[in-house]
Chains A and B, each alone.
Chain A
Amino acid sequence: MVCARGMGMYRSILPILTVISVIMAVWVIAVVPMNIHLTADQAQRDGIAVTPDTPIARRNVSGISLVVQNPHLIPLTYVNTRPNLPSPHQVGGELFASIIDQKITSKRSLVYHGWVTLAPTLLGFAIGTGLGIMLAVGIVYSRVMDKSVMPWAIVSQTIPILALAPMIIVVLGAAGIQGVLPKALIAAYLSFFPVVVGMVKGLRSPDHMQLDLLRTYNAGASQGFWKLRLPSSAPYLFASLKIGISASLIGTIVAELPTGAKAGFGARMLVGDQYGQPILSWAALFAAAITAAALVGIIALIERGALRKMGMMSA
């Protein structure tokens, strides 16, 4: 089975690389028409011939036709200092400079900003998961809670709570709650409902046959919970945890975005935008993406290890 699984992964690597390189190619090509207006203006100031030769005339020309008329400017579109769309190597360079070339205590280091975002994400995720599992147990064992709370848990997932994250931060800030906690509360809230819904499904996943079998063994309710319901909920739990952790991270970032936060990925994205340094925004965006991928990846690894140990996944 290991072999088949490995083969499956191996078989997918080439297609994945192909898709990624198609995306990269589109990006690299898009850089030229996206930046050509800025580049043409700059080139003219530097004394390079540009057609049409006034900025006003150029404004009425589309990016693509401007490229066709000025093919000699194409290389320059990739080295713009304030591009509309930075090229991959600019973003990569900025990522390298702000992750590896900076001391992690520096305000310019993305590792520092990453930690500012990550700490409330993890704290909130832990709180949300803990409370979510507790509520799910309550729902599974109490008919009243099931009937009265569960519909709201489902409906709440269709509500765009995330959009209110910045306001919640400000209200809590005004109430004197600052620092890690307000962001953690939002992260907790966002991971809470996926865990509740997934765990309820998981705790209910043992079928009648299995429950009856335990009854014939004369097992009590608590044994039924620890020996059957809880273990069989594990796959559902991990699926919800993966949704929950990325929801938590997104919540923390959105909470940082328009609230004037001084540090964190969200603040970094906005700073780059407001001070005309788009490369900074893009680097922060990619760093956030890498963090999200790493968090989901870690949970997937734990999932594989745990399920394999529990014998729920073929080794």
Chain B
Amino acid sequence: MMYVILGCVAWAAGWMLNVRLANGPRSDERLMQILIPLIFGATIIVMWEMFVIGFNVNPVFLPRPTDIIARMAGEGPRLWADFHQTIIKGALSGYLIGGLAAFAVAILADRSEFLTRGVIPVGSFMAALPIVGIAPIFVKWFGSDWESKAAVVAVMVFFPILVNTVAGLRDTTKMQRDLMRTYGAGYWTTLIKLRLPATMPFMFNGLKIATTLALIGAIVAEFFGSPTVGMGFRISTSFGQLALDMVWAEIVIAALAGSGFYGLVTLLERGVTFWHPSQR
């Protein structure tokens, strides 16, 4: 019971501290904008730890955060191998294949106004569908190693990137295109100097949506067959062994990988579209 009270006290203290900080004079500074959510996250973890001890929760249902951290520290090489198999081989290669294919199709479709009008609605329709459902089929087609995961990921990321890129290619105004024509620029020059740069903010929108999809596809596809390595494989087998701390360790890695991947794409976006109003 002590621990439960301690957990509540920690929560109240963290919340009060945040109230002071958020209503304080320096709350709009960058440091505070990072510090306040961190304090909030920390109080939740402390409360989690205290409640699990206090209520004597069976670790099969919910392990303690300290157990998870200990597991992560002790299983470094194995977690790295899983990360490498699922994120780098499966998700990243699928993301690149799907992204490049979407980009190529977008450029092709853009040559015809007629096709563009068809591709956007069909593509956004496809993007809303439960495409992960193809995972068992693809595992059968491409075998259980990373190729099938990359294929599932490629299909999942294809449509959001396609729709956004096609929409972006249409974004230039008539004035801008006329200006290019007065310069005597042909299709390719106009594409490279005007329309592709104008597409980038849109395309990065699609690329950012696709990062999470890529991880989901790679992990879920491993539930249907995988070599004895990979995050999805580890999650489902550790689960079978009731090693919930290992499952959570993989969840933490997946969360970090997800935000890291998103962050990387955002950084890249900032570099490429530095001229766009949203970045200034």
Contact = CB atoms under 8 A, between A and B. Distances in A.
A15 B128 contact: no
A167 to B, nearest CB: 6
Nearest to B33: A147
Interface in A276-296: 278, 281-282, 284-285, 288-289, 292-293, 296
B40 A149 contact: yes
A293 B33 contact: no
Contact of A163 (B39, B137, B219): B219
A164 B235 contact: yes
Contacts of A285: 130, 133-134, 137
Given A155-B259, A273-B137, A147 B122 contact: no
Given A18-B115, A152-B41, A158-B259, A144 B23 contact: yes
A12 B125 contact: no
B136 A170 contact: no
Contact of A15 (B33, B117, B125): B117
Contacts of A250: 130, 132
B40 A258 contact: no
A45 interface: no
B236 interface: yes
Interface in A282-312: 282, 284-285, 288-289, 292-293, 296
Q: Tell me the dominant secondary structure on chain A's binding face.
A: helix
Interface residues of A, number: 57
A269 B262 CA distance: 31
A254 B37 contact: no
B235 A167 contact: yes
Interface string B57-89: 000110000000000000000000000000000
A148 B39 contact: yes
A163 B121 CA distance: 28
B248 to A, nearest CB: 10
Contacts of B60: 174
Contacts of B133: 253, 257, 265-266, 269, 284-285, 288
A84 interface: yes
A253 B33 CA distance: 37
B251 interface: yes
A223 interface: no
A135 to B, nearest CB: 13
Residue among A146, A151, A158 with the highest chain B CB neighbour number at 10 A? A158
Nearest to B219: A163
Interface in A1-60: 11-12, 14-20, 23
Contacts of A18: 114-115, 118
A175 interface: yes
Contact of B232 (A20, A163, A175, A292): A163
Given A143-B22, A160-B219, A19 B118 contact: yes
Contacts of B15: 144
A249 B61 CA distance: 26
A84 B118 CA distance: 29
A16 B121 contact: yes
Interface stretch (B96-104, B168-176, B184-192, B208-216): B208-216
A296 B121 CA distance: 13
Nearest to A34: B141
A159 B22 contact: no
A90 interface: no
Interface in A142-192: 143-144, 146-152, 155, 157-160, 162-164, 166-167, 170-171, 174-175
Contact of B19 (A144, A157, A249, A282): A144
B224 interface: yes
A246 interface: yes
Contacts of B54: none
13 contacts: A12-B121, A14-B118, A15-B116, A16-B117, A149-B40, A158-B212, A159-B255, A160-B212, A257-B223, A273-B224, A288-B130, A292-B128, A292-B130
Given A15-B114, A149-B37, A273-B140, 4 more contacts: A20-B122, A148-B36, A152-B37, A285-B130
Interface of A: 11-12, 14-20, 23, 84, 143-144, 146-152, 155, 157-160, 162-164, 166-167, 170-171, 174-175, 242, 246, 249-250, 253-254, 257-258, 265-266, 269-270, 273, 278, 281-282, 284-285, 288-289, 292-293, 296
